[in-house]
Amino acid sequence: MTGSREGRVWALVAAAAASRSRPVSAADACAAVVAAVEVSGAWLTAAASGDAGHLMDVTDGTGEVLAELELTLGEGPSRDTIDSGGPVLASDLSTAETARRWPGFAPAAQLAGVAAVFVFPLRIGAIRAGVMGLYRDRPGPLSGFHLGDALVFADTATLLLMEAQHQTAGDGKPWPGGQHEDLAAHRAEIDQATGMLTEQLGVGIADAFVRLRAYAYAHDLRLGEVARDIVARRLRLRPDSGPSAGGEA
């Protein structure tokens, strides 16, 4: 086993955990994959089919921007991976084909300095746990060797994520090496803002989230910024889409 690809990947993941002095978790797979497959950064999103998901771990700010872009725009490689259950490999975001596929995400990702994105499903059989996303600041495909490693890193992250969820279900405690506190707070703020919008607009959760995303997109703001203003009551959305004075829209 130690000479196999799986054994080598596991050793890298375990080393990442050891460097942070904590039990091995899916977050360590996210950290270790970057150097191993020669990408610029990575992110890990927990999501089931049809679920917007939430960011569990990210290696840098650009990865966080990519995850939030997909959440705001409702399109992108992670969405396609969740829906299809297979990898999505976009080696050049500047192509016309990519622009047609993701008319909002592709140009926005390029503005963030991203040239290529590779997303892998976290799944075991019919169970879908989320995605592992990788990005590069230059165009070009993953080599066959690196693609093979990336698939094993995704499988390893899936097993660790499923094990952690099982532990959480068993004792009700947060799992070691799980979602970072700041990312958890960020998601909680978006959820809280969505809940407030259900009252303000008299709509369900799904429609409230659509309005939240639409406002962020229309005003070229990050979803977290809009959520923060709504929670702080600096911004209030009205049932109609017309703007109004006093921080309402």
Whole-number pLDDT of residue 33: 97
pTM of the predicted structure, to 2 decimals? 0.74
Domains of the chain plus CATH, in order, are 5-171 (3.30.450.40), 181-231 (1.10.10)
Extract the tokens encoding 146: 């690196």
Q: What is the mean pLDDT of residues 217-232?
A: 82
Whole-number pLDDT of residue 173: 42
Q: Identify which has the larger pLDDT, 97 or 239.
A: 97
Query: What pLDDT digit, counting tens, does each position of 79-119 carry?
Result: 899 888 899 999 999 999 999 999 999 999 999 999 999 99
Q: Identify which has the larger pLDDT, 166 or 148.
A: 148
DSSP notation for 5-74: HHHHHHHHHHHHHHHTTS---HHHHHHHHHHHTT-SEEEEEE--TT---EEEEESSHHHHHHHHHHHHHS
Three-class secondary structure of residue 128 per DSSP: strand
Extract the tokens encoding 114: 């991203």
